[in-house]
Amino acid sequence: MWTLLKKTGRRDEARSLFTARFVRRLLKLAQRSGPVGANIREALPPSMLSDGEIFFLDLLLSAADRPVRIAELGCYLGGTTGLFARAAPKGTKIEVYDLFEHNGASARRLKADPLFDPKSFFEIWRRNTAPYADAIDLARGDLRETASLRSEPLDILYVDIVKHRSLVNLMPRFYDRLATGGILLHQDYFHWQSPWLVYQMEHLLEEGRFELLGDVGFNMTVYRKSGPCPAHPDYLDGISAERKLALFDAAIARYGHSKSGMLAVSRLRLVQEIGGADQARLAAEIAETYEQSPRVLRYLRACVDSAGQDNVW
Protein backbone atom coordinates (compact mmCIF):
# COMPACT_ATOMS: atom_id res chain seq x y z
CA MET A 1 0.00 0.00 0.00
CA TRP A 2 2.87 2.34 0.85
CA THR A 3 4.38 2.02 -2.64
CA LEU A 4 0.99 2.64 -4.19
CA LEU A 5 0.47 5.71 -2.02
CA LYS A 6 3.87 7.06 -2.97
CA LYS A 7 3.18 6.51 -6.67
CA THR A 8 -0.17 8.31 -6.62
CA GLY A 9 1.57 11.09 -4.77
CA ARG A 10 3.98 11.76 -7.54
CA ARG A 11 2.18 11.14 -10.78
CA ASP A 12 0.77 14.53 -11.70
CA GLU A 13 3.47 17.08 -10.96
CA ALA A 14 6.98 16.16 -11.93
CA ARG A 15 8.85 18.78 -9.93
CA SER A 16 6.84 19.14 -6.76
CA LEU A 17 7.58 16.99 -3.78
CA PHE A 18 4.03 15.89 -2.90
CA THR A 19 0.66 16.32 -4.56
CA ALA A 20 -2.26 17.67 -2.55
CA ARG A 21 -4.03 14.34 -2.99
CA PHE A 22 -1.14 12.42 -1.49
CA VAL A 23 -0.87 14.63 1.60
CA ARG A 24 -4.65 14.42 2.10
CA ARG A 25 -4.37 10.63 2.10
CA LEU A 26 -1.67 10.77 4.75
CA LEU A 27 -3.84 13.09 6.84
CA LYS A 28 -6.66 10.52 6.65
CA LEU A 29 -4.31 7.74 7.67
CA ALA A 30 -3.09 9.84 10.62
CA GLN A 31 -6.65 9.91 12.01
CA ARG A 32 -6.36 6.15 12.51
CA SER A 33 -2.73 5.99 13.58
CA GLY A 34 -3.48 3.98 16.76
CA PRO A 35 -0.34 3.19 18.75
CA VAL A 36 2.09 3.71 15.82
CA GLY A 37 2.79 7.37 16.65
CA ALA A 38 3.50 6.37 20.26
CA ASN A 39 6.01 3.77 19.05
CA ILE A 40 7.81 6.30 16.84
CA ARG A 41 7.91 8.73 19.79
CA GLU A 42 9.98 6.25 21.79
CA ALA A 43 12.89 6.65 19.37
CA LEU A 44 12.82 10.46 19.53
CA PRO A 45 13.86 13.24 21.90
CA PRO A 46 10.89 14.62 23.91
CA SER A 47 8.41 16.67 21.89
CA MET A 48 5.12 18.48 22.37
CA LEU A 49 3.49 16.66 19.45
CA SER A 50 0.52 14.31 19.73
CA ASP A 51 0.88 10.70 18.54
CA GLY A 52 -1.18 11.47 15.41
CA GLU A 53 1.05 14.44 14.53
CA ILE A 54 4.18 12.33 14.99
CA PHE A 55 2.71 9.62 12.78
CA PHE A 56 1.72 12.10 10.05
CA LEU A 57 5.08 13.95 10.01
CA ASP A 58 7.00 10.68 9.99
CA LEU A 59 4.96 9.42 7.01
CA LEU A 60 5.29 12.71 5.16
CA LEU A 61 9.06 13.00 5.52
CA SER A 62 9.61 9.30 4.80
CA ALA A 63 7.73 9.71 1.52
CA ALA A 64 10.13 12.33 0.14
CA ASP A 65 12.08 10.84 -2.76
CA ARG A 66 14.95 13.31 -2.54
CA PRO A 67 16.74 15.28 0.18
CA VAL A 68 14.67 18.27 1.28
CA ARG A 69 15.29 21.63 2.93
CA ILE A 70 13.14 22.21 5.99
CA ALA A 71 12.84 25.30 8.18
CA GLU A 72 11.88 24.37 11.72
CA LEU A 73 10.71 27.45 13.62
CA GLY A 74 10.66 26.45 17.29
CA CYS A 75 12.44 23.21 18.23
CA TYR A 76 12.43 23.24 22.07
CA LEU A 77 14.15 19.98 23.18
CA GLY A 78 14.69 18.58 19.69
CA GLY A 79 11.73 16.20 19.32
CA THR A 80 10.66 17.74 16.03
CA THR A 81 14.28 18.20 14.87
CA GLY A 82 14.93 14.49 15.52
CA LEU A 83 11.71 13.42 13.83
CA PHE A 84 12.50 15.36 10.64
CA ALA A 85 16.13 14.21 10.56
CA ARG A 86 15.27 10.58 11.20
CA ALA A 87 12.47 10.30 8.63
CA ALA A 88 13.74 12.48 5.75
CA PRO A 89 16.15 11.17 3.10
CA LYS A 90 19.89 11.43 3.68
CA GLY A 91 21.26 14.79 2.61
CA THR A 92 18.24 16.68 4.00
CA LYS A 93 19.00 20.02 5.70
CA ILE A 94 16.99 21.32 8.64
CA GLU A 95 17.30 24.99 9.45
CA VAL A 96 16.61 25.14 13.17
CA TYR A 97 15.43 28.47 14.63
CA ASP A 98 15.16 28.89 18.39
CA LEU A 99 16.13 31.26 21.17
CA PHE A 100 16.81 28.33 23.55
CA GLU A 101 15.65 30.29 26.62
CA HIS A 102 13.31 28.73 29.19
CA ASN A 103 9.85 29.96 30.00
CA GLY A 104 8.73 29.33 33.61
CA ALA A 105 7.30 25.86 32.98
CA SER A 106 10.38 24.74 31.06
CA ALA A 107 12.79 25.80 33.81
CA ARG A 108 10.76 23.82 36.38
CA ARG A 109 10.39 20.78 34.11
CA LEU A 110 14.08 20.42 33.27
CA LYS A 111 15.62 21.10 36.68
CA ALA A 112 16.70 17.49 37.20
CA ASP A 113 18.50 17.21 33.84
CA PRO A 114 22.30 16.93 34.33
CA LEU A 115 22.76 19.61 31.64
CA PHE A 116 20.26 22.01 33.26
CA ASP A 117 21.16 25.67 33.02
CA PRO A 118 18.77 28.16 34.68
CA LYS A 119 18.61 30.38 31.59
CA SER A 120 19.07 28.17 28.53
CA PHE A 121 18.08 24.68 27.35
CA PHE A 122 20.52 24.81 24.44
CA GLU A 123 22.88 22.12 25.82
CA ILE A 124 19.94 19.76 26.38
CA TRP A 125 18.74 20.28 22.79
CA ARG A 126 22.31 19.77 21.56
CA ARG A 127 22.68 16.48 23.44
CA ASN A 128 19.25 15.28 22.28
CA THR A 129 19.96 16.04 18.62
CA ALA A 130 23.64 14.97 18.52
CA PRO A 131 22.89 11.90 16.33
CA TYR A 132 21.43 14.24 13.68
CA ALA A 133 24.07 17.00 13.84
CA ASP A 134 25.04 16.57 10.15
CA ALA A 135 21.52 17.44 9.02
CA ILE A 136 21.20 20.57 11.15
CA ASP A 137 21.80 24.15 10.07
CA LEU A 138 21.39 26.08 13.33
CA ALA A 139 20.08 29.66 13.51
CA ARG A 140 20.24 30.32 17.25
CA GLY A 141 18.73 33.53 18.60
CA ASP A 142 15.59 35.62 18.55
CA LEU A 143 13.65 35.02 15.34
CA ARG A 144 13.33 38.78 14.98
CA GLU A 145 17.08 38.77 14.33
CA THR A 146 17.55 35.42 12.60
CA ALA A 147 14.59 35.31 10.19
CA SER A 148 16.56 36.80 7.30
CA LEU A 149 19.78 34.81 7.73
CA ARG A 150 18.98 32.17 5.09
CA SER A 151 17.56 32.47 1.59
CA GLU A 152 17.58 29.01 -0.03
CA PRO A 153 14.22 27.69 -1.31
CA LEU A 154 12.38 25.54 1.22
CA ASP A 155 10.44 22.32 0.64
CA ILE A 156 8.83 22.21 4.07
CA LEU A 157 8.11 24.95 6.59
CA TYR A 158 7.22 23.89 10.13
CA VAL A 159 6.01 26.68 12.42
CA ASP A 160 5.72 26.22 16.19
CA ILE A 161 6.86 29.60 17.44
CA VAL A 162 4.15 32.23 16.98
CA LYS A 163 2.77 32.94 20.45
CA HIS A 164 3.70 36.62 20.31
CA ARG A 165 2.38 39.30 17.95
CA SER A 166 5.90 40.46 17.02
CA LEU A 167 6.51 37.25 15.05
CA VAL A 168 3.55 37.27 12.67
CA ASN A 169 5.02 39.75 10.20
CA LEU A 170 8.18 37.60 9.95
CA MET A 171 6.24 34.62 8.63
CA PRO A 172 5.95 35.95 5.03
CA ARG A 173 9.74 35.80 4.71
CA PHE A 174 9.50 32.07 5.18
CA TYR A 175 6.31 31.70 3.09
CA ASP A 176 8.13 33.42 0.23
CA ARG A 177 11.04 31.00 0.48
CA LEU A 178 8.73 27.99 0.30
CA ALA A 179 8.74 26.54 -3.23
CA THR A 180 5.44 26.29 -5.08
CA GLY A 181 4.09 22.88 -4.08
CA GLY A 182 5.99 23.10 -0.77
CA ILE A 183 4.26 22.09 2.45
CA LEU A 184 3.48 24.45 5.33
CA LEU A 185 2.76 23.00 8.76
CA HIS A 186 1.25 25.34 11.35
CA GLN A 187 1.57 23.65 14.73
CA ASP A 188 0.13 26.69 16.54
CA TYR A 189 -2.98 27.18 14.44
CA PHE A 190 -5.69 26.25 16.97
CA HIS A 191 -3.76 27.60 19.96
CA TRP A 192 -5.57 30.50 21.63
CA GLN A 193 -2.27 32.36 22.04
CA SER A 194 -1.69 32.50 18.30
CA PRO A 195 -4.67 34.46 16.85
CA TRP A 196 -2.60 36.38 14.28
CA LEU A 197 -1.86 33.18 12.32
CA VAL A 198 -5.55 32.40 11.89
CA TYR A 199 -6.46 35.58 10.02
CA GLN A 200 -3.09 35.64 8.22
CA MET A 201 -3.65 32.16 6.79
CA GLU A 202 -7.27 32.96 5.96
CA HIS A 203 -6.06 35.97 4.00
CA LEU A 204 -3.50 33.84 2.13
CA LEU A 205 -6.15 31.20 1.36
CA GLU A 206 -8.49 33.89 0.07
CA GLU A 207 -5.70 35.22 -2.16
CA GLY A 208 -5.10 31.71 -3.54
CA ARG A 209 -1.49 31.57 -2.29
CA PHE A 210 -2.01 28.40 -0.27
CA GLU A 211 -4.36 25.44 -0.37
CA LEU A 212 -5.59 24.06 2.94
CA LEU A 213 -5.08 20.29 2.92
CA GLY A 214 -6.39 19.45 6.38
CA ASP A 215 -5.47 19.22 10.02
CA VAL A 216 -4.07 16.73 12.51
CA GLY A 217 -5.04 16.32 16.16
CA PHE A 218 -6.07 19.49 17.95
CA ASN A 219 -3.20 21.69 16.86
CA MET A 220 -1.77 21.40 13.39
CA THR A 221 -3.06 22.64 10.03
CA VAL A 222 -1.39 21.60 6.78
CA TYR A 223 -1.16 23.66 3.56
CA ARG A 224 0.41 23.38 0.15
CA LYS A 225 1.78 26.48 -1.52
CA SER A 226 -0.13 27.24 -4.71
CA GLY A 227 1.93 30.10 -6.04
CA PRO A 228 4.04 33.13 -5.19
CA CYS A 229 2.77 35.90 -2.94
CA PRO A 230 3.47 39.18 -4.76
CA ALA A 231 3.15 41.45 -1.71
CA HIS A 232 2.19 40.98 1.91
CA PRO A 233 0.25 43.46 4.00
CA ASP A 234 1.41 44.47 7.47
CA TYR A 235 -0.56 41.82 9.33
CA LEU A 236 -0.74 43.88 12.53
CA ASP A 237 -1.42 47.47 11.49
CA GLY A 238 -2.18 47.16 7.77
CA ILE A 239 -5.50 45.30 8.16
CA SER A 240 -8.53 46.82 9.90
CA ALA A 241 -9.97 45.23 13.03
CA GLU A 242 -13.23 44.49 11.16
CA ARG A 243 -11.36 42.68 8.40
CA LYS A 244 -9.30 40.63 10.86
CA LEU A 245 -12.49 39.54 12.62
CA ALA A 246 -14.26 38.75 9.34
CA LEU A 247 -11.32 36.56 8.26
CA PHE A 248 -11.46 34.88 11.67
CA ASP A 249 -15.17 34.17 11.31
CA ALA A 250 -14.55 32.49 7.95
CA ALA A 251 -11.96 30.24 9.61
CA ILE A 252 -14.24 29.39 12.55
CA ALA A 253 -17.10 28.46 10.19
CA ARG A 254 -14.93 25.76 8.59
CA TYR A 255 -14.58 23.60 11.69
CA GLY A 256 -16.69 21.35 13.87
CA HIS A 257 -17.38 21.69 17.54
CA SER A 258 -14.15 21.68 19.63
CA LYS A 259 -11.96 23.17 16.93
CA SER A 260 -14.38 26.00 16.20
CA GLY A 261 -14.50 26.55 19.98
CA MET A 262 -10.72 26.71 20.20
CA LEU A 263 -10.71 29.25 17.38
CA ALA A 264 -13.47 31.21 19.13
CA VAL A 265 -11.16 31.51 22.17
CA SER A 266 -8.32 32.60 19.88
CA ARG A 267 -10.67 35.23 18.40
CA LEU A 268 -11.41 36.44 21.93
CA ARG A 269 -7.64 36.83 22.44
CA LEU A 270 -7.60 39.01 19.32
CA VAL A 271 -10.54 41.07 20.63
CA GLN A 272 -8.56 41.59 23.87
CA GLU A 273 -5.72 43.00 21.75
CA ILE A 274 -7.99 45.17 19.60
CA GLY A 275 -9.66 46.43 22.77
CA GLY A 276 -13.28 45.47 21.94
CA ALA A 277 -15.75 46.39 24.65
CA ASP A 278 -17.76 43.16 24.35
CA GLN A 279 -15.17 40.78 25.81
CA ALA A 280 -17.24 39.61 28.80
CA ARG A 281 -20.24 38.92 26.56
CA LEU A 282 -18.06 36.98 24.07
CA ALA A 283 -16.54 34.90 26.87
CA ALA A 284 -20.01 34.09 28.23
CA GLU A 285 -21.22 33.06 24.76
CA ILE A 286 -18.23 30.76 24.25
CA ALA A 287 -18.76 29.20 27.70
CA GLU A 288 -22.39 28.51 26.88
CA THR A 289 -21.89 27.23 23.31
CA TYR A 290 -18.98 24.94 24.20
CA GLU A 291 -20.03 23.86 27.70
CA GLN A 292 -19.54 20.20 26.65
CA SER A 293 -15.90 20.69 25.65
CA PRO A 294 -13.49 20.67 28.63
CA ARG A 295 -10.64 21.65 26.31
CA VAL A 296 -12.41 24.78 25.07
CA LEU A 297 -13.43 25.74 28.61
CA ARG A 298 -9.84 25.25 29.85
CA TYR A 299 -8.48 27.51 27.09
CA LEU A 300 -11.23 30.04 27.69
CA ARG A 301 -10.33 30.25 31.38
CA ALA A 302 -6.63 30.71 30.54
CA CYS A 303 -7.47 33.38 27.95
CA VAL A 304 -9.76 35.33 30.31
CA ASP A 305 -7.23 35.06 33.17
CA SER A 306 -4.42 36.34 30.92
CA ALA A 307 -6.49 39.50 30.25
CA GLY A 308 -4.69 39.97 26.94
CA GLN A 309 -1.22 40.10 28.49
CA ASP A 310 1.70 39.30 26.21
CA ASN A 311 3.01 35.77 26.24
CA VAL A 312 6.52 34.78 25.11
CA TRP A 313 5.95 31.13 24.22
Ligand X SMILES: C[S@@+](CC[C@H](N)C(=O)[O-])C[C@H]1O[C@@H](n2cnc3c(N)ncnc32)[C@H](O)[C@@H]1O
Q: Report the interface residues with ligand X, using CB under 6 A.
A: 47-49, 74-76, 79-80, 97-99, 101, 142-143, 160-161, 167, 313
**Environment class of residue 226 by beta-carbon count within 10 Å: exposed (0-12), middle (13-18) or buried (19+)?**
middle
Amino acid at 306: S
Q: Which is nearer to ligand X, 44 or 201 (CB)?
A: 44
Q: Are strands 154-159 and 93-98 parallel, antiparallel or unpaired?
A: unpaired
User: What dihedral angle (degrees, nearest 10) is formed by the CA atoms of 259, 260, 262, 267?
Assistant: 150
Q: How far is the CB of 47 from ligand X (least distance, A)?
A: 4
Q: How far is the CB of 49 from ligand X (least distance, A)?
A: 5
d(CA 166, CA 29): 36
Q: How far is the CB of 126 from ligand X (least distance, A)?
A: 13
Residue 162: partners with Cβ closer than 8 Å, 6 or more residues away:
73, 168, 171, 188, 194, 196, 197
**SS3 assignment, position 98:** strand
Q: Which is nearer to ligand X, 101 or 211 (CB)?
A: 101
For residue 291, give Cα distances in angstroms to 164, 257, 270, 296, 297.
Answer: 28, 11, 21, 8, 7
Q: Which is nearer to ligand X, 155 or 188 (CB)?
A: 188
Q: How far is the CB of 260 from ligand X (least distance, A)?
A: 23
Q: Which is nearer to ligand X, 58 or 98 (CB)?
A: 98
Q: How far is the CB of 53 from ligand X (least distance, A)?
A: 8
Helix (H) or strand (E) run with residue 220 in it: strand 220-225
Q: Which is nearer to ligand X, 189 or 290 (CB)?
A: 189
Q: Which residue has the CB atom at the shortest distance from ligand X?
A: 74
Q: Which is nearer to ligand X, 16 or 47 (CB)?
A: 47
Q: How far is the CB of 143 from ligand X (least distance, A)?
A: 4
